[in-house]
Amino acid sequence: MELPSDAVDARDVRGAGIARLAEGVRARKFKARDLTEAYLDRVARLDRALGAFLLVDSEGARRRADDIDRRIAAGEDVGPLAGVPIALKDIFVTRGIETTCGSKILRGFVPPYESTASQRLADAGAVMLGKLNMDEFAMGSSTENSSRGPVRNPWSLAHVPGGSSGGSAAAVAASLCAGSLGTDTGGSIRQPAAMCGVVGVKPTYGRVSRFGVIAFASSLDHPGPFGRTVDDAAALLEVIAGLDPRDATSVPSPVGRYREAARAGVAGLRVGVPAEYFGAGMDPEIEGAVRAAVDEFGRAGAKIVPVSLPHTKYAIATYYLICTAEASSNLARYDGIRYGYRTPDARSLDELYTLTRGEGFGPEPKRRIMLGTYVLRSGYYDAYYNQALKARRKVADDFAAAFSLCDVLVTPTSPVPAFKFGEKTEDPLQMYLADVMTVAPNLAGVPASSQCCGFTRANLPVGLQIIAPPLGEEALFRAAGAYEARTDWHRRLPADPVVPVEGAP
pLDDT in tens, 328-370: 999 999 999 988 899 999 999 999 999 999 999 999 999 999 9
Same domain, 303 and 370: no
Average pLDDT over residues 481-490: 98
Cα atoms in the Cβ-side hemisphere of radius 13 Å centred on 103:
30
Same domain, 429 and 319: no
Mind listing the pLDDT tens digit for each residue in 129-181? Answer: 999 999 999 999 999 999 999 999 999 999 999 999 999 999 999 999 999 99
DSSP run (H or E) holding 306: strand 303-307
Same domain, 63 and 185: yes
CB contact set of 333 (below 8 Å; sequence gap of 6+): none
Bridge partner list, 463:
452
Q: What is the 3-state secondary structure (H, E, C) of 54-123?
A: EEECHHHHHHHHHHHHHHHHCCCCCCCCCCCEEEEECCECECCECCCCCCHHHCCCCCCCCCHHHHHHHH
Predicted local confidence at residue 174, as pLDDT:
98
Q: With CA atoms as reference, report the closest residue to 233 among 313, 305, 179, 174.
A: 179
Q: Please give the order of strands across the beta sheet that includes 127-132.
A: 53-56, 127-132, 85-89, 179-184, 222-227, 199-202, 448-455, 461-467, 408-412, 270-274, 303-307
Predicted local confidence at residue 134, as pLDDT:
98
**What are the counts of helices (DSSP H) followed by strands (DSSP E) for the chain?**
16, 11
pLDDT band, very low/low/confident/very high, at 434 (cuts 50, 70, 90): confident
Predicted local confidence at residue 6, as pLDDT:
47
Question: What gap in Å lies between CA 90 and CA 109, rounded to an integer?
Answer: 11
β-bridge pairing 53-56 and 127-132:
antiparallel
Q: Among 372, 392, 412, where does a domain finish?
A: 392
pLDDT band, very low/low/confident/very high, at 502 (cuts 50, 70, 90): low
402 dihedral zone (left: phi>0; alpha: psi -120 to 50; beta): alpha
- In the chain, the number of structural domains is 2
> Does a structural domain hold residue 444?
yes
Percent of the chain with pLDDT over 90: 91
- Over the range 111-124, which residues count as b (16 or more CB within 10 Å of their CB) and which as e? beebbbbbbbbbeb
* Maximum CA extent, the chain: 70
Same domain, 114 and 127: yes
Q: What is the 3-state secondary structure (H, E, C) of 314-345?
A: HHHHHHHHHHHHHHHHHHHHCCCCCCCCCCCC
β-bridge pairing 448-455 and 199-202:
antiparallel
Q: Report the CATH number at residue 221.
A: 3.90.1300.10
Whether the per-residue pLDDT at 111 is higher than 70: the answer is yes
β-bridge pairing 85-89 and 179-184:
parallel
> Does a structural domain hold residue 246?
yes
Predicted local confidence at residue 432, as pLDDT:
80
- Measured over the CA atoms of residue 502, residue 134, residue 144 and residue 494, the dihedral's sign is positive
Question: What gap in Å lies between CA 494 and CA 505, rounded to an integer?
Answer: 25
Same domain, 34 and 134: yes
Q: Among 377, 392, 407, where does a domain finish?
A: 392
Question: What gap in Å lies between CA 141 and CA 188, rounded to an integer?
Answer: 7
Kindly compute the dihedral angle of the four CA atoms of residues 79, 81, 84, 87, in this order, to the nearest 10 degrees. Answer: -110
Same domain, 359 and 456: no
pLDDT band, very low/low/confident/very high, at 429 (cuts 50, 70, 90): confident
Question: What gap in Å lies between CA 411 and CA 306, rounded to an integer?
Answer: 12
Q: What is the mean pLDDT of the chain?
A: 95
Whether the per-residue pLDDT at 431 is higher than 90: the answer is no
Same domain, 77 and 96: yes
pLDDT band, very low/low/confident/very high, at 189 (cuts 50, 70, 90): very high
Same domain, 360 and 439: no
Question: What gap in Å lies between CA 206 and CA 307, rounded to an integer?
Answer: 27
Question: What gap in Å lies between CA 278 and CA 450, rounded to an integer?
Answer: 16
Residues classed as catalytic = 89, 164, 188
Mind listing the pLDDT tens digit for each residue in 246-288? Answer: 999 999 999 999 999 999 999 999 999 999 999 878 999 999 9
Predicted local confidence at residue 241, as pLDDT:
98
Q: Among 334, 357, 392, where does a domain finish?
A: 392
Helix, strand, or coil (residue 388): helix
Same domain, 63 and 35: yes
> Does a structural domain hold residue 154?
yes
Counting beta carbons within 10 angstroms of the beta carbon of residue 202, is it exposed (0 to 12), middle (13 to 18) or buried (19 or more)? Answer: buried
Q: Are 464 and 412 in contact (CB under 8 A)?
A: yes
CA distances (Å), 262 to each of 43, 118, 173, 475, in order?
30, 24, 21, 8
Mind listing the pLDDT tens digit for each residue in 10-32? Answer: 357 999 999 999 999 999 999 99
Q: Are 374 and 327 in contact (CB under 8 A)?
A: no
> Does a structural domain hold residue 144?
yes
Average pLDDT over residues 378-392: 93
Same domain, 400 and 373: no
How many CB atoms are located within 10 Å of the residue 268 CB? 9
Same domain, 218 and 350: no
Predicted local confidence at residue 10, as pLDDT:
33
> Does a structural domain hold residue 484?
yes
> Does a structural domain hold residue 456?
yes
Q: Are 373 and 328 in contact (CB under 8 A)?
A: yes
Cα atoms in the Cβ-side hemisphere of radius 13 Å centred on 308:
2
> Does a structural domain hold residue 293?
yes
Write out the residue range of the structural domain in which residue 149 sits.
18-311+393-491
Same domain, 329 and 413: no
At 255, phi and psi to the nearest 5?
-75, 135
Average pLDDT over residues 199-224: 98
> Does a structural domain hold residue 9?
no
